[in-house]
Structures are given as C-alpha cells and as structure tokens.
Structure 1
Amino acid sequence: MTTEAQEQSAPLVAVASADAVLRRPEAGEHLLTAMERERAARFRHESGRTDFTAGHVLVRLCAARLLDVPVAGLVLAQQCPDCGLADHGKPYLPDHPGVHVSLSHTRGVVAAGAGFQPVGVDVELSTRGGSLSSVARRVLAPAELALVEADPEPERAFLRLWVRKESLIKIGRATLDTLGRVDLSALPLTVPPGAPLRSRYEDLHLLDWTDPEHAAAVAAVSTAPPRIVELTAVG
C-alpha cells in the first residue's frame, strides 16, 4: 500500500468543544436514535446533555468523513457485552460493520474516532477538578507509579497515562481490572501543546495530543497510525 493510500485509510480522530460540534449546520439531536435521545434526557444538567449529544454527533462526523457519506444516514448503536443492554457499551455502526468507532466526552469537550481498523479515543480536561491520582495505585503499573510520583507535575503525568489506558480499554486491549498490568512507562509523559506525539505500544500506534484551546489531554490508539482532522469548522 502506498503512503497516500495508507493516509486515506488511516483512522480519523477529531477533538472539539461541544458547542463547536453542535454549531455545524447538519448537527443536532435529530441525528440521534430514540435510544440516544432517551439517554441524553437522563442527564440532570443541560451541560451533560450537550456533551453527550456532541460526542455522539462528532463520532458520526468522523465516520461520515471516513466513508464519504452524508452524516444523516449513519446510525450509531451500543451494546454491553456483559449484560446485553443497548443503552451503554462499545459503540458501533450497525449498517457499516467494517468501520470501528470510539467516542469520549468531558466537560465541554468531546473526542471521537472512526477507522477501518479498531480505534479507541479518550479526552480529559487538564484542569478538571478532583484528584485523578487517587486511583493511581489501582490502575498504574509499579514503574508507571514511580514515574508519576517523581514527576514535577504528578497530576498532569497521571492524566497522560490515564487517557492512554482509557483508549486501550476502548480498543479492547485492557479492562479496568487489568490496567495495573499494562505498563506504558517506556512512553514519554510530557506532550507539549502543538503537534501530536506518536509512539508505539506492542503492535499499536498511539497518538497523544495536548489541545491548547481546550486545555485537554487527548489519546488515540489503533493498529494503524491515527490522524487528527478538523471537522467542526463552519464554512
């Protein structure tokens, strides 16, 4: 496969504010299924409903770009492999079984990915409240924990590992119970704003990005090199 063909078939990853996604002329709750709208309605606060809706729209935008089809024709579904319910679990496109999708949302920021290869994405605000490191001993390998504790900014270092590991869960390479056995200590913890950082873990391609506009840590992982695309600019 040529380099151009590889780039065209690479998994697509997009990150944007929830508001920017929903400003797209084709975006809105009308794209969501009845199940998705029911789930959105469960959020107590409007901000939560907005983030949920934007995430489910952005993943459709990624898939539409990948497939070169109208976004309105894409149906997104989820199903839990453990309980079988369709209101949570790994997202998929029933009408396009050869396409893999992933999505993530935090306060005001959403991320999504779509590819012909398995893809997982995660986004977290760098300035989020609370202490993520409170769970560090449960989800980090010993070598990772040592790096985080020695880092001048341990919360930032932990957040970088956390989004990577969340991406691995979404691609099916780890679970919450096995995260402590996944050792990413060989990968750099510092990802300056600007160009994405690319690295490898076993057979996987990792993309790390610090999004300066949203003060967010983003990670994407796939068996092929993911690429970040802009999907929210309104022409």
Structure 2
Amino acid sequence: MGASGRPWATVAGTDEVLGLVPAYERLLTGVERRRADAMRAASARADFVAAHVLVRLCAARLLDRPADTLVLEQRCPGCGSGEHGRPSLAGLPQVSVSLSHTTGVVAAAAGHEPVGIDVERRRLPDGIRGAAGRVLSTAERAAMREHADPDAYFLRQWVRKECFIKLGRTTLGGLAAVDLSGLPGPDEAVEVPSRHGDLYVLDHTDARRDAVAAVVSTARPRIGALPSPAVPERPAALEGPLT
C-alpha cells in the first residue's frame, strides 16, 4: 500500500465522500466540528467536512490503517491558533497531508514526502483576471495573453501555485516570483508529473466534476480513485450542527 511513500491524492465530489462514510462525524475532532458548525451555508459546511474526511481516507490508504485512528490537527505558525494553518496528523510527523475544497468538489493528498494539493471549479469568478498581475510572472502573463483560453491558463497556474503556498515554497505576496511558464499549458497537460526544480507537478482535469486540480510534491505523486473507508457506519446529516 503506502510502503513506497509516493504521495496519494484523490479528487471527489462532496456527496461521494459523505455518502461513502455515513459515520463521517465520528472522524472529526472537536475543533473541526466547531469550525464546521460556524459555517452558515449547508453546502460550505458539507464541503469542509468532506475535505477533512477525504484527507483521512488518503492517509489511511497510504499507511494501511483505519481512518478513525487518525487525528487531523492544524496549527498556525504565526498566531499559534489551532483553528487554521497547515494540516498534520497527530503523532505522525513523518506524514505530510494536504486538503482543498471548492463548491461541491474536494481534494486531498497524503505522503511520506511534503505534498500540497488544490482544486478549483473551472468557471472563474468575475474579475479574477485582475489578479493576474499579482499571481503570474511576466512570462506567464505573456503566455496568458497569447493563449486561446486565458481563463484556463490562469486557473492552471493558480492551482499549481496554491500548492506551492501549501508546501511553504512561497506566500500569497510572492506568487508572481514563481515562474511556471515552462510547464505544460492547460490544453497540453497530461496526467503525468512534470518537473520544476526539485518538485513534481501533477496536473489533473476532472471534466465530470468541472474542476481542475494540481498536486505538488518532492516525491512523484499519483491521483487515484476514492479510497474505501474502514470506519464504523452510522447515518449522519449536515442539515444542523455537528455537535
């Protein structure tokens, strides 16, 4: 299973994840439940919970152990808060985990090497192109202007660079200094990793869910099907508070 240490990643629908793990609320910590309960929109709450469940399923597959034995923690290095920050598994510092969610779609990754994952819907919000000057390098902005689908080009670079942030390789303010113009464009990207320095960059287009994702790691990552859970089953709902 996870002996090779290669990062394992999955992109799935929110409903798929929650439907696969009826007892999903048992997996969450008190902090996660509190954060979920604070979300006013049921859809946003579902996406949050599904991503936090999925990252456990990916780690469980990597480690060949039940998902309900894994405790997800987050700690902000700046303020020390346990309510946000880079995720990790309690007692397993040698395992790297990452998660992401957008409307109706979630993604997660786990590996024995640093890994970051991001997923976004393919339809960009209005005005997002205005962020290109802050996000893209000079070469990337030139490529975007020449591309037949500028939005697709921007989105591909955006999800990649979000992964770089999650790996600690850059910050929101430093995105334009990361030049990924040498990587495949959205119309030529294939589902095999590209190299950027010491990193592997794996692009993923999920046409069925109308989403784009990227996985970046120091080890060669792979994207696979939704892992089967090994957790007790009990129906749950997200119509009301999780507590």
CA deviations 1:55-109 (Å, max 9, x no partner) are 0000000000001010011100001111110100000001211100000000000
Contact 2:74 2:87 in 1 (8 A): yes
Match of 1:53 among 45, 49, 53: 49
Q: Which residue does the alignment assign to 1:201?
A: 196
Distance across 1 between alignment mates of 2:99 and 2:84: 12
Consecutive aligned runs of 4 or more in structure 1 exceeding 6 Å deviation: none
Distance across 2 between alignment mates of 1:10 and 1:216: 24
Contact 1:132 1:159 in 2 (8 A): no
Aligned 1:167-186 pairs, distance under 5 A = 167-186=163-182
Contact 2:58 2:227 in 1 (8 A): no
Q: Which residue does the alignment assign to 2:18?
A: 22
Match of 1:228 among 223, 228, 235: 223
Q: Which residue does the alignment assign to 1:33?
A: 29
Deviation, 1:231, is: 1.9
Aligned 1:48-127 pairs, distance under 5 A = 48-127=44-123
Q: Higher mean Cα deviation, 167-176 or 21-30?
A: 21-30
Distance across 2 between alignment mates of 1:223 and 1:232: 23
Q: Does 1:42 align with 2:38?
A: yes
Contact 2:2 2:62 in 1 (8 A): no
Q: Percent identity?
A: 50
Q: Which residue does the alignment assign to 1:10?
A: 6
Q: Does 1:162 align with 2:150?
A: no
Q: Does 1:210 align with 2:220?
A: no
Distance across 2 between alignment mates of 1:38 and 1:188: 41
Contact 1:80 1:88 in 2 (8 A): yes
Distance across 1 between alignment mates of 2:48 and 2:18: 11
Contact 2:117 2:213 in 1 (8 A): yes
Q: Higher mean Cα deviation, 151-160 or 23-32?
A: 23-32
- What is the letter of the counterpart of residue 203 of structure 1? D
Q: Higher mean Cα deviation, 91-100 or 22-31?
A: 22-31
Q: Where does the alignment leave 5 or more consecutive residues of structure 1 unmatched?
A: none
Q: Does 1:132 align with 2:107?
A: no
TM-align CA RMSD: 1.8
Q: Which residue does the alignment assign to 2:142?
A: 146
CA shift in 2, pair 1:27/1:113, >3 Å: farther
Distance across 1 between alignment mates of 2:193 and 2:95: 23
Distance across 1 between alignment mates of 2:93 and 2:64: 16
Deviation, 1:136, is: 0.7
Give TM-score scaled by structure 2 length.
Answer: 0.89
Deviation, 1:21, is: 0.4
Contact 1:165 1:179 in 2 (8 A): yes
CA shift in 2, pair 1:99/1:5, >3 Å: closer
Distance across 2 between alignment mates of 1:179 and 1:157: 15
